């Protein structure tokens, strides 16, 4: 309907409830179709070994370019997929494409894949991943599954069971966005993560903040104490990178080290690495 605002003649149009409902229904239908057509594509962001200055693998980040609305952020369409009960189909589609893409990466590189908290309470989740690995021929030992702390809050027993099965199959597990949730440290020690990813909210601005540096230093000590390696997320500049190196953080990720790119561009990047070496190739990304 048209709303006449504050006495002047400017007329604002606001979508009515009916229109909003229609838009949402349309988005749901488009999402279902996009999943069926494999239109939601895995992109890949480099995970960089900060000591060797080498790419040790890539994190899979889902991308959907909607024909009318353009790019829709994964946080949003993953939530919608969960709400309408198609998260399994969506996740399988992205994972299958990613395994196929990663087949021609160098043998030492890992593929890091996100699971949402809801998926972790699906009792069949680990078997589905294992089946897709077998079907595509991508080795379990090169897969890392990332889960956020909220998965543990959501349903600790289910998460614990699923993580156990993944590790039994030789798959690594990483705790994502560490430092944002309700870190229950006793749960952390029970669960045997292979690595933790320090959330980017702790990394941004941190070179100018001694307290924040102190927190990151403590997280690094904690992860080492629990036998895990650490990845810092959201590295956006040289100072952050230098500070993390000084603190002894093993691995980094962020726009300064490389943005998420499509399968084709990843393939090109890996060819460049083969030709000029990792250091120079990483430098071309920034």
Q: Which residue, judged by CB position, is nearest to ligand C2E in the bound state?
A: 254
Beta bridge partners of 178: 198
Contact between 176 and Mg ion per CB under 5 A: yes
Among 30, 149, 177, 250, binds Mg ion (CB under 5 A): 177
Of the pair 177, 250, the CB lying nearest Mg ion is at 177
Region near ligand C2E per CB under 6 A, out of 2-10, 100-108, 232-240, 268-276: 232-240
User: Minimum distance between the CB of residue 15 and Mg ion, rounded to whole angstroms?
Assistant: 29
Tell me how many residues contact ligand C2E (CB under 6 A). 24
> How far, rounded to the nearest angstrom, does the alpha carbon of residue 245 sit from its chain's CA centroid?
22
Q: How many helices (H) and strands (E) does the chain have?
A: 13, 11
CB neighbours of residue 239 within 10 Å: 13
Residue position matching structure tokens 């908290």: 117
Q: Does 176 bind ligand C2E (CB under 6 A)?
A: yes
Query: Smallest Cα–Cα separation from 22: which of 13, 34, 12, 30?
Result: 30
Measured in degrees and rounded to the nearest 5, phi and psi for residue 97 equal -60, -40
Cβ closest to Mg ion, residue 30 vs residue 146: 146
* 155 contact choice in Mg ion, ligand C2E, none (CB below 5 to 8 Å, kind-dependent): none
Using CB under 6 A, which of the segments 74-82, 167-175, 221-229, 262-270 binds ligand C2E? 74-82
Our finding on whether 149 is near Mg ion (CB under 5 A) is: no
Query: Which H or E element spans position 151?
Result: helix 149-154
30 is a contact residue toward Mg ion (CB under 5 A): no
Distances (CA, A) of 150 to 162, 183, 240: 15, 9, 26
Q: Which does 30 bind (CB under 5 to 8 A by kind): Mg ion, ligand C2E, none?
A: none
Q: Using the Cα atoms of residue 134, residue 137, residue 143 and residue 148 in order, give the sign of their dihedral.
A: negative
Does 114 help bind ligand C2E (rule: CB under 6 A)?
yes
Strands 143-148 and 110-114: parallel
Residue count of the chain, please give it. 286
DSSP letters spanning 195-244: EEEE-HHHHTTGGG-HHHHHHHHHHHHHHHHTT-EEEE----SHHHHHHH
Q: For ligand C2E, which is the closer residue by CB, 93 or 278? A: 93
Of 212 and 272, nearer to Mg ion (C-beta) is: 212
Smallest distance from ligand C2E to CB 216, Å: 15
Position 250 contacts ligand C2E (CB under 6 A) = no
- Considering only the stretches 15-23, 187-195, 251-259, 269-277, report the one whose residues sit in contact with ligand C2E under the rule CB under 6 A: 251-259
Cβ contact 91:119 at 8 Å: yes
**28 sits near ligand C2E (criterion: CB under 6 A):** no
255 near ligand C2E (CB under 6 A): yes
Interface ranges with ligand C2E (CB under 6 A): 45, 60-62, 73-75, 78, 91, 94, 114-116, 146, 176-177, 200, 234-236, 253-255, 260
């Amino acid at each position: 309907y048209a709303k006449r605002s504050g006495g002047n003649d400017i007329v604002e149009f606001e979508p009515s409830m009916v229109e909003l409902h229609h838009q949402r229904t349309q988005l749901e239908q488009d999402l279902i179709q996009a999943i069926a057509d494999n239109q939601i594509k895995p992109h890949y962001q480099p995970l960089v070994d900060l000591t060797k200055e080498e790419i040790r693998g890539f994190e899979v980040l889902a991308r959907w370019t909607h024909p009318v609305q353009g790019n829709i952020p994964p946080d949003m369409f993953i939530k919608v997929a969960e709400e309408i009960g198609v998260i399994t189909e969506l996740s399988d589609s992205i994972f299958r494409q990613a395994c196929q893409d990663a087949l021609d990466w160098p043998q030492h590189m890992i593929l890091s894949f996100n699971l949402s908290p809801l998926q972790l309470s699906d009792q069949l989740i680990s078997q589905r991943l294992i089946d897709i690995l077998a079907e595509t021929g991508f080795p379990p030992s090169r897969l890392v599954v990332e889960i956020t702390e909220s998965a543990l809050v959501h349903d600790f027993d289910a998460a614990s069971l699923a993580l156990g099965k993944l590790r039994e199959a030789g798959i690594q597990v990483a705790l994502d966005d560490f430092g944002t949730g309700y870190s229950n440290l006793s749960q952390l020690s029970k669960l045997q993560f292979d690595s933790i990813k320090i959330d980017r909210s702790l990394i941004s601005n941190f070179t100018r903040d001694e307290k924040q540096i102190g927190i990151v230093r403590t997280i690094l000590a904690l992860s080492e104490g629990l036998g895990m390696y650490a990845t810092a997320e959201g590295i956006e500049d040289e100072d952050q990178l230098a500070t993390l190196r000084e603190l002894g953080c093993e691995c980094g990720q962020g726009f300064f080290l490389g943005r998420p790119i499509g399968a084709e561009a990843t393939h090109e990047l890996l060819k460049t690495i083969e030709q000029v070496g990792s250091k120079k190739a990483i430098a071309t990304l920034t």
